[in-house]
Amino acid sequence: MDGPYSSGPSTGAAFQPLVDALLVGDHKRAAAVAQHLVEQGCSRERIVTEGLEHAMGLLDEKCTVESFNLLEIMLVGRAVSAVVRVLYPGGYAPTEGRATFVIATLEGDVHDLGKNIVRMVLAGKGFRVVDLGRDCPVGDLVSAAQHEGAAAVLVSGLISPVVSQVRKLRPALRACGLAHVPVVAGGAALKQLRPEALDVDYVAENAFDGAHYLERHVLGTPGS
């Protein structure tokens, strides 16, 4: 069984080629480097923490409000997925004990690229993310939050019709005894509005901003 102290590269420098490949979004090279590390006997956990999570942290620092763009994030996300497939051919198990989030693009909005980015960022940090897809009814999202024991509910919206759906979310959660579950919104349309106007706890400027909020205010950890 893998462990953080198993054999393999002993310094973080050994992971630099993987981090470099991830940050330029070269999914083929990233997968090849990860395969090489595995063959050297490096543990999966170290590859995740010193490779994937380190790269995500660097990307986080790079992605300011002014420079955040979907293309670069998507390329890194694809490279991360390629490495995950090398490490976990049977499927990626989130870090044990980390929180579960449920996420969706609500009914009336089929644009889910932003949601997918958030899912990728949170999964890259080891969280379990239950993705209900796009055009999702509020009731389905609330049911999933209940069933999954979600630490927070996340909604993304690119277009304005979704605003009225977001405003239904808190009352629906309350009606199911989930008043304590925080709601975080994001996306081009939703981020133009204040949290109180949407009846949510936080409106994230981008995926990393949302992840920081969840780490600091929902989970009570320092965050990256």
Q: Using CB under 8 A as the criterion, which residues of the chain lie in contact with another protein when the complex forms?
A: 25, 65-72, 74-75, 78, 108, 110, 113, 159-161, 163-164, 188-189, 192-194, 197
Number of other CB atoms surrounding residue 98 within 10 Å: 15
Task: Closer to another protein by CB, 38 or 70: give it.
Answer: 70
Amino acid at 216: R
Beta partners for residue 153, in sequence order: 102, 183
Beta partners for residue 186, in sequence order: 156
Q: Which two tokens stand for residue 83?
A: 């490495």
Q: Output the smallest distance, CB 74 to another protein, in A.
A: 6
Task: Closer to another protein by CB, 53 or 109: give it.
Answer: 109
Q: Output the smallest distance, CB 139 to another protein, in A.
A: 19
Q: Output the smallest distance, CB 50 to another protein, in A.
A: 25
Task: Closer to another protein by CB, 148 or 199: give it.
Answer: 199
Q: Output the smallest distance, CB 69 to another protein, in A.
A: 5
Q: Is the dihedral of CA 173, 174, 178, 184 positive or negative?
A: positive
Task: Closer to another protein by CB, 39 or 66: give it.
Answer: 66
Q: Output the smallest distance, CB 211 to another protein, in A.
A: 18
User: How far is 212 from 92, CA to CA, in rounded Å?
Assistant: 22
Q: Is the dihedral of CA 35, 41, 47, 50 positive or negative?
A: negative
User: How far is 224 from 218, CA to CA, in rounded Å?
Assistant: 14
Task: Closer to another protein by CB, 14 or 113: give it.
Answer: 113
